[in-house]
Amino acid sequence: MFELPWADRAAAVVFGVVAVLVLVRLVLSRRGVSRAGLAAEVVMAAGMAAMAMPSGGPVPRGAWLAAFGASAGWSALVLLRLGPASGPAGLAMGPAAWRRAAAPAAHHLVASIFMLFAYGVGHGRHTSHHAGGVDAAARSGAEYAVHGGHSGAGLAGSAGRPLPTPVGILLGLGFLLWAAWWMVHLIRGSGARTTGPAGSGRLVTVMRSVLLGPVLTSSCVIIMGVGMGAMAFAMT
């Protein structure tokens, strides 16, 4: 993914942890929280973790394409139902509420399409060598140095990168700006404190407040934004 074995291993662990944390939030979340949005985040983080794995992960590429296709379709449907900001939905909700509803759906749509493209061109799919001994290992190391460890269609034997430079830079900057916006959101809300009742239920209350709180929520989004921005630049 990032053309460095240690970076790919670290990314697989980080994105895997994010996927588990968001999945826990999905299970513990109550009404008022977009479960479909959380499910899209779980798929996104798990897909990034699998893409960074040396073997490409246990899930076949077709399953990831279907998952990200469903996520993109859901996000597009949400945006269509909201309509333009000047339409009935925007007038009824108010501009601020409309942006809060539309921004995550737009982000999920762009991110899902980006992941569809990445899996479609084989980004992150590593070559497996079951025979050939030292020669195969040497060829694998050479391929990793040239192609960053990715051997899918559109990468192997290609002199360039999968993404055109302007598109990759635009996507990379967009994901990084999304992460920066959430960083500002996290800093502004850092003064909020959640207190739970005294007694035996306090530990459970504290754990829920941490897992469902704004710090963990924003941190997961920031990590995903930075990771996807870095991947967009790596594919450029």
Q: Where do the structural domains in the chain lie, given as residue ranges?
A: 5-234
Q: Is the pLDDT of residue 112 over 70?
A: yes
Given this model, what pLDDT does residue 70 score? 95
Given this model, what pLDDT does residue 150 score? 42
Q: How large is the average pLDDT for residues 57-72?
A: 93
Tell me, what DSSP letter sits at residue 236?
-
Give the DSSP H or E segment for 146: helix 133-147
- State how far the Cα of 70 lies from the Cα of 209, in Å rounded to an integer: 30
Which one is predicted more confidently, 209 or 187? 187
Given this model, what pLDDT does residue 201 score? 60
- State how far the Cα of 100 lies from the Cα of 104, in Å rounded to an integer: 7
The token pair that represents 86 in the structure block: 């000047």
Given this model, what pLDDT does residue 127 score? 43
- State how far the Cα of 118 lies from the Cα of 198, in Å rounded to an integer: 49
Q: Is the pTM of this model over 0.85?
A: no
Please provide the DSSP assignment of 182-216 as one string.
HHHHHHHTTT------SSTTHHHHHHHHHHHSHHH
Given this model, what pLDDT does residue 131 score? 40
Give percent above pLDDT 70 in the chain. 74
- State how far the Cα of 48 lies from the Cα of 57, in Å rounded to an integer: 10
- State how far the Cα of 125 lies from the Cα of 53, in Å rounded to an integer: 9
